[in-house]
Amino acid sequence: MNLKSIVIQILCMVQFCLAGIASAGQIDDVRANVYAWHKSWHNRDISSYMSFYSPDFRSEGLDYKGWMQKKTKLFKTSGDIQVEITDLGVFIEGEYATARFVQRYHGSKLSDVGEKTLTMVNSNGKWKIVSEAWKPLVMSARIPEKMAPRSNPKELGSVSPPADKAGQDQKIKLILQNGIIIKSIKFEPKKDRENVFIVSNTFFVPEILTLEGDKPRIVIDIKPVSSWSGRNRTPVKGNLIRQIRTHLHPDTKKLRIVLDLNPSENYFINQVYYEKKHIYRIEVR
């Protein structure tokens, strides 16, 4: 291999690392946008509120203009309102981002709790909402006292309102340098759902892949992982999850966790992150 080829490979690796850090920055930008959108709604500031929406916005059969007319009327007639968002999770793919969170709304005429999903597009460096959806919240199964933290769970990738970016960048660098320690992987069956708890030493964002067919499975990739000493194969014989397989690749430091599923069932998957306890939970029901 000549010197030119080596230089090109090094540059590609540097670009890859920078892309990972930039991705974390993008997630922070989307989170900040959601909290600012929430504040403008809470204050019933229609001008600020609509500034977060794309001209191409569509939802509930309304376009941008129709949405603005609807919200203008509601802001004038709803009186004081309380809007709370928790369990914020952000997922980015290409130029699109999905923000999903629990929304608690309380007004003089209506109070409800549901899951809100905002779909955003990156337009000239700014994230704009192109659609939103809401559905009533379905309460999840109760977590055992020994497993659940006392604070509210955080969905995958969620944090409190963004801390200073320098501190977050430093945390990312430390994870890249030292790696993630996976302490345990535990299976917990419930009547209508089954949970897998992954306990680590720090925050991580896994990559999730679902495979259907005769051998359906959920693939969870975590990296960089510096330590995992658990079993490679654990039969659990649940109604939904049959077994858990793991493999830590020594070169890439990627821990792959595979949940082999019962092929005769239909599945709904939910991901939750308990921030203070560094516990990631994937729920299958």
Mark whether 257 and 192 lie in a shared domain: yes
pLDDT of residue 102: 85
- In this structure, what are the phi and psi dihedrals at residue 58, rounded to the nearest 5 degrees? -140, 130
Mark whether 22 and 94 lie in a shared domain: yes
Task: Round to whole Å and give the CA distance between 140 and 124.
Answer: 38
- For 25-125, strand residue ranges (E) read 58-59, 62-63, 82-93, 96-106, 111-123
Mark whether 9 and 107 lie in a shared domain: yes
Mark whether 129 and 221 lie in a shared domain: no
Mark whether 194 and 109 lie in a shared domain: no
Given pLDDT bands bounded at 50, 70 and 90, which one contains residue 138? very low
Task: Round to whole Å and give the CA distance between 159 and 273.
Answer: 9
* Cα separation values, 168 from 22, 89, 201, 231, Å: 12, 17, 16, 33
* Cα separation values, 233 from 213, 252, 257, 258, Å: 21, 20, 10, 9
Instruction: Lowest mean pLDDT of 9-23, 59-73, 166-180, 217-231, name the range.
Output: 9-23
Helices 3-42 & 165-178 angle (0-180, nearest 10): 140
Task: Round to whole Å and give the CA distance between 90 and 49.
Answer: 20
- Amino acid residing at 236: V
Task: Evaluate whether residue 166 is within a structural domain.
Answer: no
pLDDT of residue 175: 54
Instruction: Lowest mean pLDDT of 5-14, 79-88, 145-154, name the range.
Output: 145-154
Calculate mean pLDDT across residues 91-104.
Answer: 87
Given pLDDT bands bounded at 50, 70 and 90, which one contains residue 4? very low
- % the chain with pLDDT above 90: 33
Give the HSE-up count for residue 105: Cα atoms under 13 Å, Cβ half-sphere: 22
Q: What is the CATH number of the domain that holds 198?
A: 2.60.40.3500
Task: Round to whole Å and give the CA distance between 248 and 50.
Answer: 47
What length is written for the chain?
285
Task: Evaluate whether residue 142 is within a structural domain.
Answer: no
Mark whether 125 and 192 lie in a shared domain: no
* Cα separation values, 150 from 86, 147, 154, 201, 202, Å: 15, 10, 12, 18, 18
- % the chain with pLDDT above 70: 76
Boundary (domain end) residue, out of 103, 136, 169: 136
- In this structure, what are the phi and psi dihedrals at residue 71, rounded to the nearest 5 degrees? -70, -35
pLDDT of residue 273: 76
Q: What is the CATH number of the domain that holds 97?
A: 3.10.450.50
Boundary (domain end) residue, out of 115, 136, 157: 136
Which structural domain, as residue segments, surrounds residue 8?
3-136
How far the first Cα of the chain sits from its last, in Å, is: 51
Residues in contact with 184: Cβ distance below 8 Å, sequence separation at least 6, in sequence order: 197, 198, 199, 230
Task: Evaluate whether residue 229 is within a structural domain.
Answer: yes
The number of distinct structural domains making up the chain is 2
Mark whether 110 and 203 lie in a shared domain: no
Mark whether 206 and 277 lie in a shared domain: yes
pLDDT of residue 71: 93
Residue 261's DSSP bridge partners are 241
Instruction: Write the pLDDT tens digit of every residue in 29-58.
Output: 898 999 999 999 999 999 999 999 999 999
Mark whether 278 and 202 lie in a shared domain: yes
Calculate mean pLDDT across residues 127-153.
Answer: 57
Task: Evaluate whether residue 146 is within a structural domain.
Answer: no
Among all chains, which residue has been given the structure tokens 């204050």? 43
Mark whether 63 and 128 lie in a shared domain: yes
Task: Evaluate whether residue 151 is within a structural domain.
Answer: no
Mark whether 110 and 185 lie in a shared domain: no
- In this structure, what are the phi and psi dihedrals at residue 223, rounded to the nearest 5 degrees? -160, 155
CB distance 161 to 34 below 8 Å: no
Task: Round to whole Å and give the CA distance between 52 and 36.
Answer: 9
Task: Round to whole Å and give the CA distance between 276 and 248.
Answer: 25
CA angle 181, 22, 24 (to 5 degrees): 45
Given pLDDT bands bounded at 50, 70 and 90, which one contains residue 112? confident
Given pLDDT bands bounded at 50, 70 and 90, which one contains residue 122? very high
Task: Evaluate whether residue 158 is within a structural domain.
Answer: no
Of the two residues 143 and 122, the one the predictor is more confident about is 122
Task: Round to whole Å and give the CA distance between 29 and 125.
Answer: 10
Task: Evaluate whether residue 144 is within a structural domain.
Answer: no
Residue 186's DSSP bridge partners are 197
Instruction: Lowest mean pLDDT of 59-68, 166-175, 190-199, name the range.
Output: 166-175
Calculate mean pLDDT across residues 192-206.
Answer: 87
Task: Evaluate whether residue 93 is within a structural domain.
Answer: yes
Mark whether 119 and 28 lie in a shared domain: yes
